[in-house]
Structure 1
Amino acid sequence: MATHRRPKQPSRARVYVFTGAAATAVALTAQVSAHAAPAQPSKDEVKAQVDKLLEEQEQAAEKYNGAKERADQLHKQAEQLQDQVARGQAQLTELATGLAAVAADEYRQGGVDPSMQLMLSTDPDRYLAEASRFEQAANTQADTLKSLKDQQRRLDQQKQEAASVLAELDRSTQTLNDAKTDVQHKLQESQKLLGQLSVADRNAILRGTDDTASRSSGRIDPSTLPAAGGSAATAVKTALDQQGDPYKWAASGPDTFDCSGLMVFAYAKAGVSLPRTSQEQATVGTNVGTDIANAQPGDLVIYHNDRRHVGMYIGNGLVVHAPRAGDVVKTMKADAMPISTIRRV
């Protein structure tokens, strides 16, 4: 008859081992899950990071604008210098050709001094006439030689200046490309962050609709504003006519703008030429200080310590400006950001 034995019970040590292994597996699973699905950033966290990136993008964009303006100036200067060098070289060649012809003529005459040839002449009248012409020819030859040396000196100087300008143009172009790369990188990073949010939250951050201080006060009718005088009247009207046009970095119209580009476009319509960057615009005209109470329509309001942003005062405590990537030309409270300086153009 078969003997039935009860199954052997696991020892307490084995229970401890199994329990510990299970706990370890749970912990590892939790860690893997944490790495696989990171916590979604909150809207406020994304906004803080995007705001910082867009501020840096605005700085890089203004640096690009400055470098492009300088590169354009250098390119024009280089073209002028190269044209001068070409014309100088042609003049130098012409002078040298003239002297070569004289030297060849003297060689054909056997190298005898023309004055000696005249002295041997048996015709006194011819001698006097030829002597006068010889003196004039000698003077002309000396003047030509002097002109040749002067032209060579000017040509060498122009070549050196052109080489210097072209070298600076190369450096400016490199700065331009670096700034452009920086802008694009900041924009890509901000887009990645914004892609984690809903469309509504994304638009709220870009358009500033969740920020009471910078919220657009809606499309402004110029007839509701205090009148501006002179060129400022045209500039204010032009800037307000652009309300709703998209922000685009490095753009100065006619359909897209960055902050300083809007100022350039508006004042150009009034016949006033402004420098391209907000930093340069912070030095034009008359300094009105930083108190918005002293501002008049048409004044440029420069913001932040690094002067990276600019808007145009339009009256009633408002400015019109091109805010940042993803936004449009609109108005805001003039004191919504720290004012660096106010300039009357």
Structure 2
Amino acid sequence: MATKPSNDMDVDGVVLDVEGLRMRYGTTDVLRDVTFRARHGEVVALLGPNGAGKTTTIEILEGFRMRSAGRVSVLGTDPAHADEEWRARVGVVLQSWRDHGKWRVRELLAHFGTYYVPYATDAVPRPWDAGQLLAAVGLSAHAGDKVRTLSGGQRRRLDVAIGLVGRPELLFLDEPTAGLDPRARYEFHDLVHRLAAEHRTTILLTTHDLAEAEKLADRIMILSGGRIVADGTAEELARRTAGADEVRWTCGGRRFRHETAQSTQFVRELFREHGEAVGELEVRRASLEDTYMALVREHEQGSGADEAAGAGEERQAVTAR
């Protein structure tokens, strides 16, 4: 599904190339020196508390918002100056929209698909066939239903189908599984993995579901205070902040707890020494939630100290005057 890189795209398959991105509203910096890259077929989760700048970042990458400073290249093009051909290569799944309630599901997808016909190539036939797309998102049984009759979860699947109808090389997903039941969520996760693995679609998603981010993403970026404060796999981030696993067990009627960076070796030695007397063994590794909370808390505390220091310097300057 992905086309060959254009002449102005990096030869190593970089799809998103962001350097020194800044966004200022009045005197407030919403984004400060945001820098990252993403390549073909990579699934990247952008996490962060409300107000961290996630939506602003994505809107700039989508070409919907102008940045204040920095360099941004998306599929080899600055989205601030992108044309319709570029937009045909990008898919967007918003948190929700509620138009076109009188349309039937297949008709709506076919209608949106007509906009992509002029941008089809030998490498990327556009649009995605409506029947195949409905099967991919699990809506084949509802092809003839009116949009307004769909349940919340079914409507969310349709949102995803609309974002995919143009066979995008890059897909933005904003809270993609909100409202989906467990089975639909599982099927959607499978679809994301297939898009990345089979079609080399690059996917940038935001979610407040940390378990979902850990399951879907090759890389996780944490945005806090307008800056990316961490970037890596879930395991890399956990090692960075936690460092130790927690081992709990019982022995001789007593409960024990021990923290160690070498939990496997510790458990071996524990059984070697106490054998079958060891019971209720539990090894708890740091979760992505632990990592996320630690990193955000660390950054917020650091930002508070910086602001306090700045205020102190300002008071000193006023006193000096």
Query: Structure 2 length as normaliser, TM-score?
Result: 0.17
Structure that is richer in strand per residue = 2
Query: Structure 1 length as normaliser, TM-score?
Result: 0.16
Larger CA Rg, structure 1 vs 2: 1
